[in-house]
Structure 1
Amino acid sequence: MVLRPPLPSPGSSSPRQIWLHIGLPKCGSTTIQHHMAETYEQHLRLGLCYPQRHRSPAGYRNHIPLARMAAEVLPAALTEIEAEAERHSCRRILLSCEHWTNAFRTSNLAALVQALQQRMPGWQIRLVAYFRNPYGFAESSYAQFLRAGLFGIAKPAFFAAGPPGIDRYLRCFEESYGFPLPSLLSFTQMLLAQFPRDSLVLRSNAPADLDAPDMLSDFCNLLGLPPPETAARRNSRIQPRKLAEIEYVQTQVSQPVYMQLRPKLLKRDFTRGAPPGPARGSSLHLSAAMAEDITRRLEAERSELAALFATRTDTLCAARSQDWGRAELLDEAARVRLRKFIRRQTA
């Protein structure tokens, strides 16, 4: 795909810009989306529109409605988005949704960029993606997969195939995508295969790699916005024991039943006052062998990533040295309590 330069805009020396923030998943997208939605009016006065049109009104308040839109409907949607920006005299538009990389192979991202070129030729298009150190990226991705799915990996087939775990999850990803999930360079190459290098803005989300206190401040700097006044909002982190419960329940029930049980499962304390167990679960976290494989891959990819990224990548590509020991988080008594919970809730 070739992104043409924008047509000249009368009366202005700088081009109008459309920024597509495309994730990656589990790399701070929710923090960006929350801030942009909360500061919508303030940013309009500064010339940036985070369109309300085709943005979810609640929850993450991202542009998932636009990201899931059929290609033939996109031109009409973009007409509405452009009109919203022009009503407020905005010369910058931000569209944000990690679905564009979460479901990259089947998403409408390429169709959206093409529609933007055709419908809004006077606007410069930039795609920005944040990346995370691969050790945390791998473990957080599996946690999100357990909670609600990720990267289009079919959960019914996954749980029907045998005992679950991060090792099998990583194999499923590689079989589906053709490259290992912890390979940051492969994600980069996936984007470069679709879009020209000068249209992509690739960035580390590690504060030590940035000329800003954190990723959200870095993103605001990138768009010419003031830094956030308060600390960045973060998703609540589920403790390993609860993740182990979520994983086990899905081995016992179908996905529709799990979705019904999930709200109560998240709220219910099944520990009976037991002290916190080990921090690293045998099925939830990387083993020493998996971590060694990531370290070798980082060594091989580090120099090429540094050349492609618009930020430093020292922390992004830093090898992690730690105790990679893992332990079983659920004993048989805990599994019995979970099975009783399932029976009561599904009776």
Structure 2
Amino acid sequence: MKVYIHIGFPKCASSSLQATLFENEAKLKKNGVLYPKLGRQVGGYRNHTPIIKLDFPVAEYVEGALKEASSNKCDKIIISTESIVDNLRLERVQERCNTLAQNFKSHADVSVVTFSRSPSSVINSSFAQFLKAGLWALNRDEFFKSTDGTIDGFLDFFHEKWGFDLWQFENLYKMAIEVFEVDSLVDFRIQDGTDVIETFTNFVENGLSLTPSSVTNKRFSLEKLYLIRQFISQYGLASFQENAPILKGQVTFDKKIISSEQAQRDGMLLSRKYSLLLNELDTRTQGVKVFAKNDLLRS
């Protein structure tokens, strides 16, 4: 038995991957791969976030997932939720992840898998998602009360809470390896042209081809993000949450009025110079890299 635990990163095609796994559930089973119904969201993104965020016993979940695999004659299980890496600094999440891995390891080999993008892409998309709905287990109310609300303030706020910079991905890999008590972590780097579905499914079952889902995670325009940031800054998070359905859904902009250059000046995006510097420091290219426990602990 083999168990693959896909933990994110945020904004790295997780929604598309999860929707595709759900929509191809029957084909996966025919090829001996289970995307468990147990612990999976009934609607929405069809991921396994309930395993991490709800209170049912993790040990009982593992027993149920193994039974589901056995009844479907599957020898591989995929668990997928980006809520793991996003919340990895929280003690409760660490405990549930550790219990999940240890109980699976009594019956199977466990692999922890991530997808990542370039540092600048992760930072820009993380800040946008943080403004919309929160991210990285950071308190938005505290952020807006204690910072200037810019992306630089966001990076400082992240460092204060996590103890390292957001672009230092290897610290996240190290945390995941320690929490799951595995020997290594597999990371796939996404660049232009990367087929996330094909990459992941071939990693799990070589030669397996799935029909991609049309589900995508809608990106907000810079104009919409400006509106959200200004609203929270002026009226507070509680008022924003009351009005979020209108601000997120019903308010629209007919044309682009904010350029990338202006967004960089106003602290909505990383400056071009900073983005280039971060991406130059990052030596990764498209492809897979295995981060070994011993190498990370020495770094």
TM-score, length basis structure 1: 0.74
Work out the CA distance in 1 between the residues paired with 2:77 and 2:134.
Answer: 29
Work out the CA distance in 2 between the residues paired with 1:257 and 1:222.
Answer: 45
1:119-139 CA distance string (max 9 Å, x none): 662211111111111111110
Instruction: Note the residue ranges of structure 2 that are not aligned, 5 or more in a row.
Output: 292-299
Match of 2:81 in 1: 97
- Whether the 8 Å contact between 1:50 and 1:95 is mirrored in structure 2 is yes
Match of 1:191 in 2: 176
> Of residues 225, 228, 233 in structure 2, which corresponds to 1:246?
228
Work out the CA distance in 2 between the residues paired with 1:36 and 1:85.
Answer: 15
Work out the CA distance in 2 between the residues paired with 1:277 and 1:306.
Answer: 31
The answer as to 2:260 corresponding to 1:279 is yes
Task: Determine which structure has greater relative contact order: mean sequence separation of CA pairs < 8 Å that are 6+ residues apart, divided by chain length.
Answer: 2
1:115 deviation in Å?
4.4
- Whether the 8 Å contact between 2:223 and 2:258 is mirrored in structure 1 is yes
1:283-317 CA distance string (max 9 Å, x none): 2101245325424632xxx37x9999149xxxxxx
| Equivalent runs, 1:1-347 vs 2, <5 Å | 16-70=1-55, 73-106=57-90, 107-109=92-94, 111-118=96-103, 121-194=106-179, 198-206=183-191, 214-224=195-205, 226-230=208-212, 233-269=215-251, 271=253, 276-280=257-261, 281=263, 282-291=266-275, 293-295=277-279, 297-298=281-282, 302=283, 309-310=289-290
Kindly provide the amino acid, as one letter, of the partner of residue 86 in structure 1.
S
Question: Would the alpha carbon gap of residues 191 and 275 (structure 1) be closer, same or farther in structure 2, given more than 3 Å must change?
Answer: closer
- Whether the 8 Å contact between 2:119 and 2:279 is mirrored in structure 1 is no
Work out the CA distance in 2 between the residues paired with 1:171 and 1:185.
Answer: 18
Identity %: 24
Kindly provide the amino acid, as one letter, of the partner of residue 150 in structure 1.
L
Match of 1:323 in 2: none
Work out the CA distance in 1 between the residues paired with 2:288 and 2:197.
Answer: 21
Question: Would the alpha carbon gap of residues 149 and 38 (structure 1) be closer, same or farther in structure 2, given more than 3 Å must change?
Answer: same
1:38 deviation in Å?
1.1
What is the root-mean-square deviation of aligned Cα atoms in Å?
Answer: 2.7
Kindly provide the amino acid, as one letter, of the partner of residue 174 in structure 2.
Q
1:43 deviation in Å?
1.1
Kindly provide the amino acid, as one letter, of the partner of residue 16 in structure 2.
T
1:230-289 CA distance string (max 9 Å, x none): 476431221111110011111122323212211111233465x56533134122101245
1:39-72 CA distance string (max 9 Å, x none): 11221121111111111111111111101245x8
- Whether the 8 Å contact between 2:201 and 2:208 is mirrored in structure 1 is yes
1:177-218 CA distance string (max 9 Å, x none): 11111223333333344456644212212256xxxx511110
- Whether the 8 Å contact between 1:183 and 1:297 is mirrored in structure 2 is no
- Whether the 8 Å contact between 1:69 and 1:108 is mirrored in structure 2 is no
- Whether the 8 Å contact between 2:62 and 2:103 is mirrored in structure 1 is no
Work out the CA distance in 2 between the residues paired with 1:222 and 1:114.
Answer: 25
Kindly provide the amino acid, as one letter, of the partner of residue 180 in structure 1.
D
- Whether the 8 Å contact between 2:189 and 2:286 is mirrored in structure 1 is no
TM-score, length basis structure 2: 0.85
Q: Secondary structure in 1 aligned to 2:57?
A: helix
Q: How many residues align?
A: 286
Work out the CA distance in 2 between the residues paired with 1:274 and 1:88.
Answer: 51
**Structure with the greater alpha carbon radius of gyration:** 1
1:113 deviation in Å?
4.0
Work out the CA distance in 2 between the residues paired with 1:206 and 1:275.
Answer: 26
Kindly provide the amino acid, as one letter, of the partner of residue 159 in structure 2.
E
